[in-house]
Amino acid sequence: MTQQRMSPAELTPRTYRAMRSLEQSVAEELRDAGVETELQELLKIRASQLNGCGFCLDMHITDARAAGVDNRRIDVLPAWREVDLYSDRERAALALAEEVTLIHREGVSEEVWAEAEKRFSSVELAALLWAATTINAWNRLAVTTRSQPASAARDSAE
């Protein structure tokens, strides 16, 4: 079993509180803009899949199920382009999240940006950009420190 390397939350509590505050602000912006909760969770799951973040996958899959996202939509999310289970808005958000996550490859393409602008208001799009940015930051912290899902820590203690 992989051991967690460190806890940035414990070692740098002010910065952790600032990051949590940013996360809360993004959640409020998404809510106020009217971005669907299911879409938000799918975006977080997809970025976490691409980044290989087990901690965030565990958290956001749990959150998605609690928000009523159908298990099939969660299960086939890595192949979202291949199935007809996602709305045009979700597809635009997922494409944007993927390109933000993999920004080192070719940035965010004009095609993906144009589709996102077509499906979302400027405020919604800005909020989605913040959502993609923050989940990527959380993923990088969790992957680097080898953060374990609460369920894994509980299972290993038994």
Domain residue extents for the chain: 19-152
Query: What's the confidence (pLDDT) of residue 97?
Result: 98
pLDDT tens string 60-92: 999 999 999 999 999 999 999 999 999 999 999
Q: Does the predicted TM-score (pTM) go above 0.75?
A: yes
The count of other CB atoms within 10 Å of the CB of residue 60 is: 26
DSSP type of residue 82:
G
Closest CA to 113 of 92, 132, 142: 92
Domain 19-152 has CATH 3.90.1150.10: no
